[in-house]
């Protein structure tokens, strides 16, 4: 079973080791400028007067996501600030605010968050929450991502078939992502 969540929901979540040590708090979400997927997190210290840490948490080093904490194996899971060289962070990053276009050039809207599918052993970026460019559309929509994504310097490019799987709530979005990826896995002309 998987759970869908917005990447922004992880901000301010504690970071704990498997031994139970409370070592940090998520400060900002860092997205990969090349793929638009989650690259990791910048961190704050814990406590009233704690500020930003000089350590970061690469996504590959996250051991698990619980309802109340982000879990890491141990302190060696943290990395220096240079772990995200070439990546941009937070709301000013390449992904948040980027336009989402179909291959034919139809503007679907601007990205407001990344949707993650959290499974027991793996977490995958499966879609974007967007503010639609069509003002008659619902306030927010969820657009599924293929397993691979085309990214230009200014926009995220999706196949036309993504239009059939856009949802306006998270309730049925997981099934829509699976159907979308299954359709992309079949070649043109294959029986359905």
Last residue of a domain, one of 71, 91, 111: 91
192 within some domain: no
In a domain, 191, yes or no: no
Longest CA–CA separation in the chain, Å: 61
pLDDT classification of 55: cutoffs 50, 70, 90: very high
SS3 per-residue string spanning the chain: CCEEEEHHHHCCCEEEECCCCEEEEEEEEEECCCCCCEEEEEEECCCCCCCEEEEEEEHHHEEEECCCCEEECCHHHCEEHHHHCCCEEHHHCCCCCCEEEECCCCEEEEEEEEEEEECCCCEEEEEEEEEECCCCCCCCEEEECCCCCEECCCEEEECHHHHHHCECCCCCHHHHHHHHHHHHHCCCCCCC
pLDDT recorded at residue 16: 96
The residue among 37, 70, 91 that closes a domain is: 91
Within this chain, do residues 86 and 117 fall inside the same structural domain, yes or no? Answer: no
Question: Given pLDDT bands bounded at 50, 70 and 90, which one contains residue 148?
Answer: low
- Residue 141 or 32, more confident: 141
Tens of pLDDT, residue by residue over 15-39, are 999 999 999 999 888 876 556 567 8
β pairing state of 99-102 and 88-89: unpaired
- pLDDT of the residue at 71: 92
Instruction: Count the domains in the chain.
Output: 2
What is the tens place of the pLDDT at every residue in 99-121? Answer: 899 989 999 999 888 888 877 66
Low-confidence winner among 4-13, 74-83, 129-138, 148-157 (lowest mean pLDDT): 148-157
pLDDT value of residue 1: 59
Residue 68 lies in a domain: yes
Q: Determine if the pTM surpasses 0.85.
A: no
Across the chain, what does the average pLDDT equal?
A: 82
Domain of 73 in residue numbering reads as: 8-91
User: What are the structure tokens assigned to 169, written together?
Assistant: 């709530």
């Amino acid at each position: 079973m998987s759970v869908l969540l917005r990447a922004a929901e992880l901000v301010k979540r504690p970071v704990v080791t498997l031994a139970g040590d409370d070592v940090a708090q998520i400060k900002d979400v860092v997205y990969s400028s090349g793929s638009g997927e989650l690259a990791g997190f910048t961190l704050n210290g814990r406590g009233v007067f704690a500020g930003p840490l000089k350590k970061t948490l690469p996504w590959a080093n996250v051991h698990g996501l619980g309802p109340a904490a982000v879990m890491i194996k141990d302190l060696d899971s943290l990395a220096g600030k240079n772990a995200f060289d070439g990546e941009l962070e937070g709301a000013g990053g390449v992904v948040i605010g980027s336009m989402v276009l179909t291959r034919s050039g139809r503007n679907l809207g601007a990205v407001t968050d990344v949707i993650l599918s959290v499974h027991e052993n793996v977490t995958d970026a499966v879609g974007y929450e967007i503010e639609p460019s069509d003002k008659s559309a619902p306030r927010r929509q969820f657009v599924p991502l293929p397993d691979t994504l085309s990214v230009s310097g200014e926009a995220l490019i999706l196949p036309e078939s993504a239009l059939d799987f856009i949802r306006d709530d998270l309730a049925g979005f997981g099934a829509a992502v699976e159907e979308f990826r299954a359709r992309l896995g079949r070649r043109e002309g294959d029986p359905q």
